[in-house]
A = this chain, B = another copy of it.
């Protein structure tokens, strides 16, 4: 019998629970305005009871319970090693830290797409648009696009707060891009532009989660944004397992089983999270599978939260990305049939513009009154950053055949995507060549999630250091090679199995050396702990 664990999260929760024991009030969280009167002129006496200072045991326990492994302990250690190398270059047996922990392509040397950056620069400083020198520095279509975008912004004010859903003209462009992608209509009023996809996910969790009795079905392994957001909003993560044996297959039978189990425990399941292409697993769902998932959500009255941020990252010819909106519309399901939110980001794809914090969610199948509430929450933060908004419109509407930039743009795009495909394959093969390691194909996204059969002695050594065995392996890998990967326990995995997530993002010329370092380390690690 296998049980679900997220190792380090669990132990942190235990620790924090012990701290809080009697301190958590057993009342519902609700908003109150304390009714009171302004003070009269005379001052009253000084403090009667001294409030406790802010300490770990007096902060919001949901904050303590939240975990985000992608920037967790292993990254802190990596940063420490990096500082040590700076001051003493031969402090460690490697020259640099290779951050394979996070999907952050430009940090590893990927160049931005020229056309996108040209347009952003021109929108940042529009006074140069009219100058003759500008034509020597920028492509004609980037100048034209910048003008078009400025005309879409009321008063051409790129420094003003926009509509809280984002600039209407940019949402029109994005909706047109979705229509072109899917072949079904998209409504600009359904688009909410956000600072990357993460705030959009938080907004939906905030909307759906009322208490710990509300559950969100999440894949295991999952991207830890989901577990973190559910923790921060006080809900319950209802896990469903992807099947490693069938290339991380998503079985509707598993969804049904977990839904029923959680319902029997009194949990109201509100939504299903699907990450396609998968993170950290890299699988790309087949259309038939997606149809079954849509049908399941419709029948069970679940909101479908579709994380589609890797929609441009598909590396195998036999698979194709289909948005859940397209799939549901092709089944004849419309607004009345399914509540569906699709998340997209400028951080992924071939562009990898993580630092720009652009993204959107397309919200369909909610009533006008609920939509108004989503709008209200968006309005409390006023709007997302305008450069990110512009970039989101650009990735959904890149240069077309005939535009001056088209050739260079498509060369840059294809160069990145084909290189990512080669890197994915090389690393996958390398992992599969290691003793006791099996690794599914990265059909899409930016990660490999190999499984390691660790020797009993290694597991004991990890226990002695009070670490999860995969965390121990990753730490040893880091200190031996400078390569940073994230332990599988940060994503969730079937108990008793051990994995890590490794991005496919180091530049191609570095891959052979990485493979050598990985292989050498693994061999010596296995030799050390062989039974």
Given contacts A32-B237, A50-B301, A60-B207, 17 further A-B contacts (CB under 8 A): A26-B27, A28-B28, A31-B66, A31-B231, A32-B212, A36-B239, A39-B240, A39-B253, A51-B301, A54-B207, A104-B160, A107-B160, A124-B387, A133-B137, A195-B195, A199-B381, A387-B387
Q: List 17 A-B contacts (CB under 8 A).
A: A10-B33, A25-B28, A42-B253, A44-B253, A47-B256, A54-B270, A54-B339, A59-B373, A67-B376, A71-B382, A120-B125, A121-B122, A133-B136, A159-B356, A161-B347, A161-B355, A198-B381
Is the beta-carbon distance between A33 and B46 smaller than 8 angstroms? no
Q: For A112, list chain B residues within 8 Å (CB).
A: 158-159
Q: For A373, list chain B residues within 8 Å (CB).
A: 56, 59, 63-64
> Interface-forming stretch among A261-269, A411-419, A472-480?
A261-269
Q: What 1/0 flags go to A115-139 for Cβ under 8 Å of B? A: 0011011101101100101101100
Is the beta-carbon distance between A48 and B260 smaller than 8 angstroms? yes
Is the beta-carbon distance between B118 and A215 smaller than 8 angstroms? no
Q: For A253, list chain B residues within 8 Å (CB).
A: 39, 41-44
Residue from the list B6, B28, B51, B355 in contact with A383, Cβ < 8 A: B355
In the complex this chain forms, how many copies of it are found? 2
CA distance A58 to B102 in the complex (A): 36
Closest to A56 in B: B369
A34 near B: Cβ within 8 Å? yes
CA distance A90 to B55 in the complex (A): 61
A4 near B: Cβ within 8 Å? yes
Residue from the list B61, B157, B267, B379 in contact with A355, Cβ < 8 A: B157
Most buried by B among A65, A118, A381: A381
> Interface-forming stretch among A222-230, A314-322, A482-490?
A222-230
Closest to A131 in B: B137
* A370-B339 in contact given A49-B263, A161-B104, A380-B68 (Cβ < 8 Å): no
Is the beta-carbon distance between B256 and A44 smaller than 8 angstroms? yes
* A159-B367 in contact given A124-B117, A301-B52 (Cβ < 8 Å): no
Is the beta-carbon distance between A33 and B237 smaller than 8 angstroms? yes
CA distance A9 to B381 in the complex (A): 18
Is the beta-carbon distance between B232 and A51 smaller than 8 angstroms? no
Q: For A251, list chain B residues within 8 Å (CB).
A: 39, 43
A181 near B: Cβ within 8 Å? no
A466 near B: Cβ within 8 Å? no
A302 near B: Cβ within 8 Å? yes
CA distance A206 to B61 in the complex (A): 10
Measured CB to CB, the closest approach of chain B to A57, in angstroms, equals: 10
Q: For A379, list chain B residues within 8 Å (CB).
A: 68, 71
Q: What 1/0 flags go to A238-273 for Cβ under 8 Å of B? A: 111101000000011110111111110101111000
Measured CB to CB, the closest approach of chain B to A265, in angstroms, equals: 7
Is the beta-carbon distance between A59 and B208 smaller than 8 angstroms? yes
Measured CB to CB, the closest approach of chain B to A223, in angstroms, equals: 11
Residue from the list B34, B137, B347, B385 in contact with A387, Cβ < 8 A: B385
* A160-B354 in contact given A4-B35, A33-B237, A267-B34 (Cβ < 8 Å): yes
Contact residues of A between 18 and 34, Cβ < 8 Å to B: 24-34
Is the beta-carbon distance between B51 and A270 smaller than 8 angstroms? yes
CA distance A59 to B109 in the complex (A): 43
Measured CB to CB, the closest approach of chain B to A170, in angstroms, equals: 12
Q: For A215, list chain B residues within 8 Å (CB).
A: 34
CA distance A36 to B137 in the complex (A): 59
